[in-house]
Structure 1
Amino acid sequence: MTAATQLLLDIPDIGDGAALWRIARDSDALDLNSSYSYLLWCRDFARTSVVARGDGGEPVGFATGYVRPDRPETLVVWQVAVDRAHRGRGLAGAMLDDLAQRVVAEGVRGVETTITPDNEASHRLFMSFGERHGARIEREVLFDGALFPDGHEPELLYRIEPIA
């Protein structure tokens, strides 16, 4: 049993929003959204998200996602983050696997995510996820850096399908 499987993987609720915001803020990799957006995410997209809970029930990691309105067979993974004290134990992959298992039962057949070119940990995470699920992995630029008004790096789209 790995350290990741000893944690409870759960559906987030509104009370988790502040902790998710703090984990994202402290990640050193994610674009931080407003605290309000994490509360909304825990309310409106809880079914397509996962939270990892420590011994006391507090969130120590999360993966947020939503089903694309124009492609209801596709889950978009928005953010994945793990608290610093719980990194390096396979938790991010375990959360993605748990989420995939849940949404496949509801008709999802593929996963999309975007990653900036310099985020090597996320590139490894999603390549490994695709390999574990025997899926094709396609990559392309979704949003060129010139589209962002704030000097943001390009966002590379990963399309991982089919997942089973």
Structure 2
Amino acid sequence: MTAAPADLLIDRPATADGAALWRLAKDSKTLDLNSSYSYLLWCRDFAGTSAVARGADGTPIGFITGYVRPDRPDTLLVWQVAVDSAHRGHGIAAALLDGLTARLAESGVNRIETTITPGNTASERLFTSYAERHGAHLTREVLFPAELFPDAPHDSEVLYRIGPSADSHAH
């Protein structure tokens, strides 16, 4: 993985970005695709806990959607991460995750949760390397076994819990 491009802009998503986020999720071929409407809502209601990476022309080339868990205000649940196939391998997902968690640390968020299906090595590497970079503890356990999903076949979802980060102890 190489460093993210210097001209990369990490920003909060705007409602107008919803269609681009939906296309990035659709084109990823790995994410569960939600309705286009849900991406518009996400960009409106959860922009503060999400991030978008913009290319030189301002077009979204990657995103992270997430929310702060209502019963755990120190925990960001990362819902989806996607980077356009033409821009993968340049550290954009890591830059998005670092930028988003740095922004949220100001409001007391110092833990991350996400679920990853077994075999999604790109996501496994992204979150494992995040934990290493930030000196954070990482645990894994099955959150939703495959048999809970009504739209079988669906792989189990493994919960990754990361944190608190060593960075947060400095504050």
Q: Which runs of 5 or more structure 2 residues have no equivalent in the other structure?
A: none
Q: How many residues align?
A: 164
Q: TM-score, length-normalised on structure 1?
A: 0.97
- 1:51 is aligned to 52
| Equivalent position amino acid for 2:136 in 1 | A
Q: Which residue of 2 aligns with 1:127?
A: 128
Matched, 1:153 2:155: yes
Inter-partner Cα distance in structure 2 for 1:161 and 1:61: 24
TM-score (norm 2): 0.93
% identical aligned pairs:
65
Q: How far 1:55 sits from its partner (Å)?
A: 1.1
- Poorly superposed stretches of 4+, deviation over 4 Å: none
Once the two structures are TM-superposed, the CA of residue 88 in structure 1 deviates from its matched residue by: 0.6
1:74 maps to amino acid: T
Offset from partner CA, 1:128-164 (integer Å, 9 cap, x none): 0010110000000000000001121100000000123
Give yes or no for contact 2:17–2:40 (8 Å, CA) kept in 1.
yes
Asked whether the 8 Å contact 1:61–1:92 carries over to 2, the reply is yes
User: Contact 1:114 / 1:156 at 8 angstroms: preserved in 2?
Assistant: yes
CA RMSD of aligned residues (A): 1.1
Q: Hey, what does 1:39 align to over in structure 2? A: 40
Provide, for residues 15-59 of structure 1, a one-character-per-residue CA deviation record: whole Å limited to 9, x for no partner: 000000000000011100000000000000000000000111110
